[in-house]
Structure 1
Amino acid sequence: MKRTLSDVDLAERHRQRARAKGPAAPPRSVRASCHVTWTTIAGLPVATVSPKTTKTATAPFIYLHGGGYTSPIIAHHWRLIAALANENSWTVIVPLYGLAPDSDVTDALTRLTALHQTVVQDAQGAPALGGDSAGGGLALALALSLRDRGLTGPRHLVLFAPWLDITLDNPAIPAIERFDPTLSRPGLRHGGLLWANGRDPKDPAVSPLYADPANLCPTTMVVGTHDILLPDCRAFATKARAKGVDVELYEFPQAFHVFIAGTVLPESRVARRLVTRRIPGRG
């Protein structure tokens, strides 16, 4: 993947192949442990994933998958979602938001706002909200947009290696890029600009690192130190803490991008336990 992302043309070909293949269905292992049902909300296909072993689930958790804003959900996302559901007795709501270049951040925030408010109404309370990589960046952008509009926001944000600045201009990134086995800046920037669709790349909607984080809900972040997104995660945590936000940033030495999706890895299990401890009312 790193070689693909190191070249814009290769990244574009990968995007086209991934889109032609389409979103992965929940694997058999996920369907063995969880109920998976589908509906449509705000024009988006939405999966609801809940553990089979628990009759009473806690307040829902909305999960936005990664993929650089250009690639659909994959099997590893579903396995992580199932692990979070089973370990916390969560009902996880998984919208398959539109991808660039056919969709963009404006469309996504409009539809996800409607979905979030539907979940709030149905659950009679605020859900947790999270995601990985691009999905983590989008989750943060959504939370900030809900705050700015005076709407009910999430009760907690869970961000796994979130992509917080599509420019990837942080001067600390090049030193980490040598060790990152997965990510490279050229291909990521290409996807980010497609997602922005003409917006300033530093618009908080596409790069929430540049937003004012004041009055944001409690936030938990998990990232590896061999991940080029680490410097911006650190920058956001520092900025948010300065505004009084309850932020916990867990860094895992030498871990790769979204390592937590490797659900059988010891460090993934540790990270998930840390997330569980941070979120109240988990069941």
Structure 2
Amino acid sequence: MTASPAKPTVPPTKPSPAMRVVHAVLRRGGVKRALSDVDLTERERRRNEAAGPAEPPRSVRASCTIRWTANEGLPVAVVAPKRTTSVTTPFLYLHGGAYINPIIAHHWRLIAALATENAWTVTVPLYTLAPHGDATDALTRLTALHQAIRQETGVAPALGGDSAGGGLALALAQRLRDQALPGPRHLALFSPWLDIGLENPDIPPVDRVDPTLAVPGLRHAGLLWANGRHPKDPAVSPLHGDHADLCPITVFIGTHDIFLPDCRKFTVKAKSSGTDVALYEFPGAFHVFIAGTVLPESRIARRLLTQRVAGDG
């Protein structure tokens, strides 16, 4: 008897009950208020800088080995699943935080989920944040790190990130191509911030339902990261770069995320350039929902990514 083929994984058509609950909790939180005012954004940035990057939670350390090293002067964590007998695939992950805030526990949990579910070895650089670092410095160091991973493993790593890290990952892929260097195998973008100017006229309607993000604080953070570069420079706003001759790209975004309009615009531009792009929109989902690893939507997104990356093998 022939087994029935598995049903393809598809995004849901409406928010799960868990998504609705978390969405409501986030709306009552203070993240959006802090980003609605530049002074509050700066106050939060200084507080987070003083606290420093979060340590990997106990659950992450239970499921993964974490080896700390350094590359180009950056602290780098190499996260690999403990329970696997297969050869792992390299994945270079760039965390979000509006380019001004350090890695948090939710990032580590997502990184661990990606590692354990796919037998991936995830390399996580703690790149220097604005205003102490900027796009020029980050892209130079991350280019060297990407090439070092490829040389060490002998294969092209996948590359990805969330929010600001997603924008940085796309900018890095464009930089590698422009320098005629070997690029990544796949690009995974989770709620990526693709244009620091946030001038898309379709943003205001989404802003009214986005529970966490606001334009004023993000623009301030983006200009700190640009450090004199024009806001439309592809190094800080890769939406305005050349999207041809890139690896396959998978984008995950919620419909209650102010980055949605630019993700849609990017997808159209990249496809018209001949690049393989899959955009998955999740109804009612908030910014970087995939980091809520227990949410049904997060699990679906991770399965979709697994299928997409496996298809490039």
Please give the range of the TM-score, normalised by the shorter of the 2 chains: over 0.9
Partner AA of 1:3 in structure 2: R
Taking structure 2 as the reference length, the TM-score comes to 0.89
Cα distance in 2, alignment partners of residues 89 and 282 from structure 1: 16
Residue 213 of structure 1 is aligned with which of 243, 254, 270? Answer: 243
Q: Deviations over 1:133-154 (max 9, x none)?
A: 0000000000000000000110
Match of 1:104 in 2: 134
Match of 1:115 in 2: 145
Structure 1 runs (4+) greater than 4 angstroms displaced: none
**Correspondences of 1:29-48 after superposition (within 5 Å):** 29-48=59-78
2:137 counterpart of 1:89: no
Match of 1:50 in 2: 80
Residue 189 of structure 1 is aligned with which of 196, 219, 227? Answer: 219
Match of 1:242 in 2: 272
Cα distance in 2, alignment partners of residues 5 and 192 from structure 1: 12
Residue 178 of structure 2 is aligned with which of 144, 148, 155? Answer: 148
Cα distance in 1, alignment partners of residues 87 and 294 from structure 2: 24
Match of 2:206 in 1: 176
Cα distance in 2, alignment partners of residues 130 and 44 from structure 1: 18
Cα distance in 1, alignment partners of residues 87 and 241 from structure 2: 33
Higher radius of gyration, 1 or 2? 2
CA contact (8 A) 2:185 2:312 kept: no
Change (3 A) 1:232 1:281: closer
2:56 counterpart of 1:26: yes
Partner AA of 1:224 in structure 2: G
Change (3 A) 1:241 1:282: closer
Partner AA of 1:141 in structure 2: A
Distance apart, 1:125 and its partner CA: 1.5
Match of 2:32 in 1: 2
CA contact (8 A) 1:68 1:191 kept: yes
2:164 counterpart of 1:134: yes
Q: Deviations over 1:113-170 (max 9, x none)?
A: 1100100100112100000000000000000000000001101000000000000000
Unaligned runs of 5+ in 2: 1-30
Cα distance in 1, alignment partners of residues 189 and 199 from structure 2: 20
Distance apart, 1:281 and its partner CA: 7.2
Cα distance in 2, alignment partners of residues 54 and 24 from structure 1: 26
Cα distance in 2, alignment partners of residues 2 and 109 from structure 1: 29
Cα distance in 2, alignment partners of residues 214 and 52 from structure 1: 38
CA contact (8 A) 2:89 2:119 kept: no
2:260 counterpart of 1:230: yes
CA contact (8 A) 1:64 1:95 kept: yes
Match of 2:310 in 1: 280
Distance apart, 1:7 and its partner CA: 0.2
Distance apart, 1:5 and its partner CA: 0.1
Distance apart, 1:45 and its partner CA: 0.4
Distance apart, 1:280 and its partner CA: 2.2
**What is the CA RMSD across the aligned residues, in angstroms?**
1.0
Q: Deviations over 1:36-82 (max 9, x none)?
A: 11000111100010011013333200000000000000000000000
Cα distance in 1, alignment partners of residues 190 and 84 from structure 2: 25
Match of 1:69 in 2: 99
Query: How many equivalent pairs are there?
Result: 283
Cα distance in 1, alignment partners of residues 119 and 89 from structure 2: 9
Change (3 A) 1:150 1:282: closer
Residue 16 of structure 1 is aligned with which of 46, 60, 63? Answer: 46
Partner AA of 1:62 in structure 2: L
